[in-house]
Amino acid sequence: MNSRASATDFGGRAVREALLDSGVSNGDIEEAYVGNVAGTAQDQTGVIGQAVLREVGVTGIPITRVENACASSTCAFREAYKTVKSGSCDIALVLGVEKMSGVPTEVALKDMSGASDAQVEGAMGMTFMGVYGMRASTYMDRFGDVREELADIAVKNHANGRANPHAHLHLDIDREDVLESRRIAAPIRLLDACPMSDGAAAAVIAPGAVAEELVDDPVYVDAVEMSSGHYLDSDREYWREELDERVAKRAYDEASVGPDDLDIVEVHDAATIGELMHYEGLGLADYGEGAELVRNGDVMRDGRIPVNPSGGLKSRGHPVGATGVAQLCELVWQLREEAGPRQVEDPSIGLAQNSGGALLGEGGVSTVTILSTR
């Protein structure tokens, strides 16, 4: 969504939908965490959680904003989850919200560049798409040309997104459209890149026993893992998603599952090469083998392991501080078989991977969340 609506408008709407869905009222919320990067189009840059939540009557409780660039709302979800898990509260709310339109594009871009490694990479003129371009070049230098498969990832995600009423870009594109689109940072082209979006997503978290009282079909949190990287490790192999690997291993261990057990996956496809590399970092394919999942249709909505049935960042959009919880909402809808025309067949375990911050130096964060119907 990009519109005249304010963060308060669409943030409030997301909260209301989460409350209706979970059967709790605003007064039942004991603690709230809000993921946001840049404020409400730059006017409300502090205590934005309080400013948005007051509009839906969620006041007088602890409200905390969490920021970790594009992974902000997964990190907010993690704090809410830890709070509920520790027993210090029964019903927590998590909201991701971001308003990126309504300011000059250069202001929004400056906000985004400030979420990269601004002090080192930024000073050298690096941008996020520049980083993705360099990683794609490194990857292809090692494993061969995957430009067609990258284009097919964009085509897949837009096809999925056309079936998602929540998606920002309902584009009907084919491989040639991607390969012939404007070059952004070689080999990344315009249609390899996600848009800047407005959006919000919200979830209510409660202990299992409480959730089972509230709704007929709770979805369970089996793992939420997050780590920052090692930043500018000169030995680092840039074709490798070491940070994903490390975080995913902890999440798989926590949930007692492996990549072969997953029925549905949402990954951080800010650029198509990101999606491909996340396949490998998460262990869905060996290094260098990710493109095969595209070629053989495994990651299609009706494939062996559907990836980004929501449309991903590419089509659903990338309202940065909202993206992580939007991924989790998609998993919940899919696991409950409420995803309508984009429903994948009979899923019971889903994984979401959400990245944030500097990528080349791997200084940001990767998060992996595993949800299931049990």
Catalytic sites, residue numbers: 70, 318
Task: By CB under 8 A, tell whether 369 contacts its own copies.
Answer: no
Task: By CB under 8 A, tell whether 234 contacts its own copies.
Answer: no
Residue 296 CB, nearest approach to its own copies (Å): 35
Task: By CB under 8 A, tell whether 341 contacts its own copies.
Answer: no
Closer residue to its own copies in complex, CB, 16/54: 54
Residue 62 phi, psi (nearest 5): -65, 125
End-to-end Cα separation, the chain, in angstroms? 33
Q: Rounded to whole angstroms, how far apart are CA atoms 252 and 255?
A: 5
Place of tokens 């029964």: 90
Nearest residue to 307 (alpha-carbon basis) of 337, 338, 277, 340: 277
Task: By CB under 8 A, tell whether 323 contacts its own copies.
Answer: no
- The site string for its own copies over 70-109 (x = CB under 8 A, - otherwise) reads -----x--xx--xx-xx-x---------------------
Q: DSSP strand E in 115-270: where?
A: 183-185, 188-189, 199-205, 220-228, 264-266
- The site string for its own copies over 118-157 (x = CB under 8 A, - otherwise) reads xx--x-----------------------------------
Polymer length in residues for the chain: 374
Place of tokens 């809410």: 80
Q: Determine the 3-state secondary structure of 200 from DSSP.
A: strand
Q: Rounded to whole angstroms, how far apart are CA atoms 282 and 129?
A: 22
Residues numbered 212 to 231 that lie near its own copies (CB under 8 A) are 226-231
Closer residue to its own copies in complex, CB, 25/348: 25
Residues numbered 237 to 296 that lie near its own copies (CB under 8 A) are 246
Of 23, 27, 62, 208, which one interacts with its own copies (CB under 8 A)?
62
Residue 371 CB, nearest approach to its own copies (Å): 19
What's the token pair of residue 208? Answer: 């299992």
For residue 72, the one-letter residue type is S
Closer residue to its own copies in complex, CB, 238/333: 238
**Cβ-based neighbours of 220, under 8 Å, separated by 6 or more:** 208, 371, 372, 373, 374
Closer residue to its own copies in complex, CB, 106/302: 106
Q: Which residues bind its own copies (CB under 8 A)?
A: 8, 37-40, 42-47, 49-51, 54, 59-69, 75, 78-79, 82-83, 85-86, 88, 111-112, 114-119, 122, 226-232, 246, 356-358, 363-365
